[in-house]
């Protein structure tokens, strides 16, 4: 039995979460938080994993007895999901939580699967001192990988690839995911703060939002750190917007999204020029995309068509993925993979898992990545990766 009922405004959604394994998808204080596990599905790896997920959830939701007094995107039964970047890697998961609390467009509701239960909400707990260590590659080793990637690009094998870095963090005490979510949402309200199966972060990149036949996406590619003051900030933004390297990187990302969405859409709108998206720590070139689906595809069908975008993989895709596998020296797990939620109507919101960490007990594995082009400078790319890693370092340290 799945029951959704309207409720009064719950205030801070994260403040309602119990400590154990919370789920979240929140931006500007609106979205969904959840806890408990009514159903957990391990998604088999392989090229048809999104089809498997869509069909399995369709059967699961179809068998449920649903009493939904709200009938809005995100009401009724909802599954949170995290998919690995590499389709052949294990670790993709879908979870239908036992309790979901949501707020959107001036409405709030509570969904329960099975019997409603009371969960205690203990105070947030700081992780104590954090010790950091190298991940799969040291900083000099990663710069060397970037230089090798640049040589591959200049040889004509590909236009762009994306190389990721990881960093390990060990805390004195078990890491309270709710504290990370609260800090991330407070510092980066314009991002999508998410939590699913231990993968926690705040991504600026909306892969797709489906509401009925309407879809939206936000393409981000091309990045510069914020300036030291307003004049420096404006200068950096202008340099980013006029940079041939960054504009080409962004054009590759937009082209990959257009290629993925064209077959699914009766209408598709992509601006001719990007805009500047200014976040707390970096500036991005951004292109908002909107469209109307032609065949009633679910949000997971759109995710399957779009992943991996050039923004997190490269161009052309297969050549870029070959370079990633050769040079990164690590399993990305859920980093740069799709993360989000889907309801029984096929509506949902999915982002690309960026600015994130995989949390397990008192250990965190932090991730960041950079788009590598033929004129990329390894030291500059390392500085960009460090700027992106500061998001999760702040979440851990406060």
Single out the residue of 314, 332, 305 nearest to residue 88, CA to CA. 332
User: Distances from the Cα of 193 to the Cαs of 103, 190, 311, in angstroms?
Assistant: 14, 9, 19
| Residue 213 annotated in active site | no
Q: Is 388 a catalytic residue?
A: no
Say whether the peptide bond before residue 316 is cis (omega within 30 degrees of 0).
yes
CB 72 within 8 A of CB 100: no
C-alpha distances (whole Å) from 333 to each of 74, 112, 191, 230 are 26, 30, 21, 38
Q: What is the DSSP string of 236-251?
A: HHHHHHH-HHHHHHHH
Burial class (CB in 10 A: 0-12, 13-18, 19+), 61: buried
User: Which of helix, strand or coil describes residue 378?
Assistant: helix
Based on the number of CB atoms within 10 Å of its own CB, is 247 exposed (0-12), middle (13-18) or buried (19 or more)? middle
Q: Which of 19, 160, 328, 349 is catalytic?
A: 160
DSSP strand pairing (66-68 vs 2-6): parallel
Exactly one of 205, 328, 381, 384 is catalytic; which is it? 205
Rounded CA-CA distance 252/159 in Å is 8
Catalytically active residues, by annotation? 160, 205
């Amino acid at each position: 039995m799945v029951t959704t009922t309207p409720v009064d405004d719950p205030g801070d959604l994260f403040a309602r979460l119990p400590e154990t394994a919370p789920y979240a998808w929140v931006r500007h204080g609106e979205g969904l938080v959840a806890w408990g596990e009514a159903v957990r599905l391990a998604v088999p790896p392989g090229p048809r994993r999104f089809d498997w997920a869509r069909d399995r959830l369709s059967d699961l939701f179809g068998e449920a007895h649903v009493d939904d007094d709200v009938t809005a995107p995100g009401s009724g039964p909802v599954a949170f999901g995290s998919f690995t970047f590499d389709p052949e890697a294990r670790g993709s998961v879908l979870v239908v939580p036992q309790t979901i609390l949501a707020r959107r467009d001036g409405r709030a509701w509570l969904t329960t699967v099975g019997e409603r239960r009371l969960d205690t909400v203990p105070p947030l707990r700081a992780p104590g001192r954090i010790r950091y260590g190298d991940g799969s590659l040291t900083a000099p080793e990663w710069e060397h990988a970037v230089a090798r990637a640049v040589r591959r690009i200049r040889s004509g094998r590909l236009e762009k690839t994306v190389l990721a870095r990881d960093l390990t963090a060990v805390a004195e005490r078990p890491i309270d995911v709710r504290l990370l979510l609260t800090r991330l949402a407070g510092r980066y309200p314009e991002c999508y703060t998410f939590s699913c199966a231990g993968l926690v972060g705040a991504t600026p990149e909306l892969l797709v939002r489906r509401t009925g036949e309407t879809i939206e996406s936000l393409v981000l590619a091309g990045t510069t750190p914020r300036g030291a003051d307003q004049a420096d900030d404006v200068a950096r933004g202008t340099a980013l917007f006029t940079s041939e390297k960054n504009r080409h990187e962004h054009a590759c990302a937009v082209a990959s999204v257009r290629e993925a969405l064209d077959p699914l859409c009766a209408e598709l709108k992509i601006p001719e020029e990007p805009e500047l998206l200014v976040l707390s720590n970096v500036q991005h070139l951004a292109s908002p995309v909107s469209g109307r689906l032609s065949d009633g595809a679910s949000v997971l069908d759109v995710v399957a068509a779009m992943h991996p975008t050039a923004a997190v993989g490269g161009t052309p895709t297969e050549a870029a993925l070959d370079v990633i596998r050769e040079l990164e020296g690590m399993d990305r797990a859920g980093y740069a993979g799709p993360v989000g939620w889907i309801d029984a109507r096929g509506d949902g919101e999915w982002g690309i898992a960026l600015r994130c960490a995989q949390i397990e007990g008192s250990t965190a594995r932090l991730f960041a990545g950079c788009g590598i082009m033929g004129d990329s400078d390894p030291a500059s790319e390392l500085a960009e990766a460090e700027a992106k890693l500061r998001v999760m370092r702040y979440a851990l340290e406060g």
